[in-house]
Structure 1
Amino acid sequence: MAASLKLPQATPPGMPDGHAARPQRRWIVILALTLLVALAHLLVTYEVSQQMADLSSSAGSSIKRMEATYVTEIKQTAPPVAAAAPPAPPAAPQAPAVKKREPKVAKAASAPDDAASAAKVADGASAAAPGASTPPDTVAKVAEPEPAASTPDADKPVAANEPAPTASGPTFIWPKATKVSYKMEVYYRGPIEGGRATVEWVRQNQRYQVRLDASVPLLGWISMISEGKVGANGLSPERYESVNQFLFKSSKPATLKFEEQEVVLASGERIARVPDLQDPVSHLIHLAYRFITHPNLLQQGNTIEMPLASSKRMDVIAYDVINEEVLHTGMGDVRTMHVKPRRLTQDKNALLGDIWFAPSLQYLPVRIYAKWADDIYVDMQMDGAPQQTPGDPPEY
């Protein structure tokens, strides 16, 4: 019986060989799984970041949020150099000029009593004549206005649409709302990307809120809120709250209560309230306000001292103006002044952040850098034009 011989079947045109098809299918499966994992990671990251943003805006806070809508973007402008003073009041009517009467000269030159009397008459005539000209040999002296003494009314709220009482800076009208958005670089056991933060100012009549909300995907979020009144000298906080979540573990809200004479810390301890006292969020806007109304403060080498209350203590902070720096931002190059805070006490455990203020952007903070240790820091940098709803101009 003849042996049967099986010939290999021909592979149909367009179909890969069986042995070659298996590795190709394997790579397709690996590629598909990789894409699915990457897509799932992106979806989870987005979902977590959205949840963090929602939580950081309301979690644990007893302060009702002031809502705001924004109508414009802030553009860079040259910082003002002079104050725009309101129109001067009408001048009071002057009394009619009195013609100077010539004194009678004594005929006898040897009569000193009569000559002295004549001189007194002449001086009296000049003083009694408001419209009379000053004799050429008399030096006119104009008294400089004395600075106003500090009074308990210094923090009295002023109408928010009235210019700030200053003679060294521009007329300033508090906006109804301002928001600066930041991209946030975090380093914690390695670099972490995708962080976002906002600093938002909202005003309703004479009341304000300042909020700093920051979140980092899969790491945590923090929300700090200050509310109070707009005073003649800037912000006057009434309440501050801070709440955060780190690695999915939430903290209890830390609260500061600013009473008229005292401040209640988060521990319940009471300390005396000092003038110009700010909290960890309000000081960002309060400093910007001081620079707007007194531009000379923001010069290299200057130091601005300000008391600052945190949840555990009150310190006096010295803000040293370091130098001018050009920062590259989402809206182009921005000239800024680098301000570095330092505590006048020796406590190095509490965190303070360097701030870069932009005179061309209403002195808003363009960058905030806070460092806990060499391998732990947060760097917030503005990534677009700030949004704003301007305030109403004053009516004279």
Structure 2
Amino acid sequence: MRSVRPPGLLVLAVLALHLLLGHEVQRIHEGWLSDGPPPMPERMKVALVHEMTLQAPPARPTAPRLPQPAPRHESPASPEPASEPASAPEPASAPESEPAAEAASAAPVPVVAAEAASAPVDGEPGPEWPLSTRLTYVLTGNYRGPIHGQAQVEWLRKGRDYQVNLDVAVGPSFAPLITRRMSSQGQLTPEGIAPQRYDEETKFILGEPRRISVFFLPGEVQLATGVREPAMRGGQDAASQFVQLTWLFMTGRETLQAGRVVHFPLVLPRRQYDWQYEVLGLEPLSTTMGELATWHLKPSRPAIGGDLTAEVWLAPALQYLPVHILIRQDAETSIDLMLKSAPLQAAPESPNDTPRRLSQ
């Protein structure tokens, strides 16, 4: 008796289905093995209701100095692709004399609480932390030639929780060619900012966004490469470092004086540094708010392996916030952010506000 054979088309259909299912199972399996970084954190929602004005600073309180981290050797650089040629001349700066330092303490600044160095009550951050603030900047720089755009820095806080967002857009605001968001979030402590995670997302006008994350775990940090290393005490990330500097100077934990060096651990996506900023001195800066006296801080040495570094100009007249930031990848690739308008700030927090802990 002759056996009945299934039609050829049916056999082909079954084989195709098996191949499709096998491919899908393989794709899912590969996804499990190579989970990407988590999505960018939600932006903290804070109402920014008034423009900052220039006011005389109060006398800076004397605060206990923070423990300094023990020096460590940076992890070896990983090979990086060569940067595209461009040109970014380095600004020359000269240290200022002692009279200039005295003038800075008398420069106009928004009033902050006189008890700025007081310890937090019941675990809540003290009044030394700036209110939630947004600074907007005009962006210029070099990347395959001159570039233009816009940027903003948001310092947001609710109770002990904080978030810093640095948003950069290259090209016209209605259709930027490249955008990057750098986000830090964590807790405010008596020793300063304690990041819990750092995220960075870069989008191009064409192609998929690229995202990396760094996690600050108990006693260690997980870098964007997935490598875990022992954490140094007081470590900051690429975004939180700017507000940490503001806090150090506002509270008198660090002194602004030409030639002084401020250092703290800096955790960048690929490696950690025992980072150092040298105070070059007071420099007048022409802004849309008029001429401001600013303190110019510059890294004592360059980073390695293509890591980004930043020079900052902090204005005592604006709570020591950064009114000018120069970010370098190397000697030929940089972006320059200059304050565009008066910063916006939130109303003071109600003492009855319940702090909301950010999830990792």
Deviations 1:215-272 (A, max 9, x none): 0125301100000001012110001100102453444311111112111111211111
Q: Shift of residue 208 of structure 1? A: 0.5
Residue aligned with 1:189, SS: coil
Aligned length: 259
Give the greater-gyration-radius structure (CA): 1
Structure 2 Cα separation of the partners of residues 268 and 348 of structure 1: 17
The reply on whether 1:67 has 2:9 as its aligned counterpart is: no
Q: Shift of residue 375 of structure 1? A: 3.9
Distance 1:206 1:279, change over 3 A: same
Identical columns (%): 34
Structure 1 Cα separation of the partners of residues 45 and 194 of structure 2: 20
Distance 1:376 1:177, change over 3 A: same
Q: Shift of residue 82 of structure 1? A: 3.7
The CA RMSD over aligned residues, in Å, is: 2.8
Residue aligned with 1:275, SS: coil
Q: Name the structure 2 match of 1:165.
A: 118
Structure 1 Cα separation of the partners of residues 232 and 253 of structure 2: 24
Structure 1 Cα separation of the partners of residues 168 and 185 of structure 2: 18
The reply on whether 1:197 has 2:156 as its aligned counterpart is: no
TM-score of the two chains, using structure 1 as the length reference: 0.60
The reply on whether 1:367 has 2:345 as its aligned counterpart is: no
Stretch moving more, 242-251 or 386-395: 386-395
Q: Name the structure 1 match of 2:336.
A: 379
Asked whether the 8 Å contact 2:311–2:327 carries over to 1, the reply is yes
Q: Shift of residue 209 of structure 1? A: 0.4
Distance 1:232 1:263, change over 3 A: same
Structure 2 Cα separation of the partners of residues 393 and 80 of structure 1: 23
Q: Name the structure 2 match of 1:221.
A: 179
Structure 2 Cα separation of the partners of residues 368 and 192 of structure 1: 16
Structure 1 Cα separation of the partners of residues 235 and 209 of structure 2: 25
Deviations 1:145-189 (A, max 9, x none): xx7997xxxxxxxxxxx85437xxxx8443441111000012223
Residue aligned with 1:297, SS: coil
Q: Shift of residue 392 of structure 1? A: 4.0
Q: Name the structure 2 match of 1:158.
A: none
Structure 2 Cα separation of the partners of residues 212 and 203 of structure 1: 15
Moved over 6 A (4+): 147-150
Once the two structures are superposed, the pairs formed by residues 1-396 of structure 1 within 5 Å of their partners are 61-83=39-61, 163-165=116-118, 172-193=127-148, 195-217=149-171, 218-246=176-204, 248-294=206-252, 297-343=255-301, 347=304, 349-392=306-349
Distance 1:234 1:61, change over 3 A: same
Asked whether the 8 Å contact 1:175–1:390 carries over to 2, the reply is no
Q: Tell me, which stretches of 5 or more residues in structure 2 are unaligned?
A: 1-36, 68-114, 120-125, 353-360
The letter of the residue matching 2:41 is I
Q: Tell me, which stretches of 5 or more residues in structure 1 are unaligned?
A: 1-58, 86-146, 151-161
Task: Select the structure with the greater relative contact order (CA < 8 A; seq sep ≥ 6).
Answer: 2
The letter of the residue matching 1:70 is L
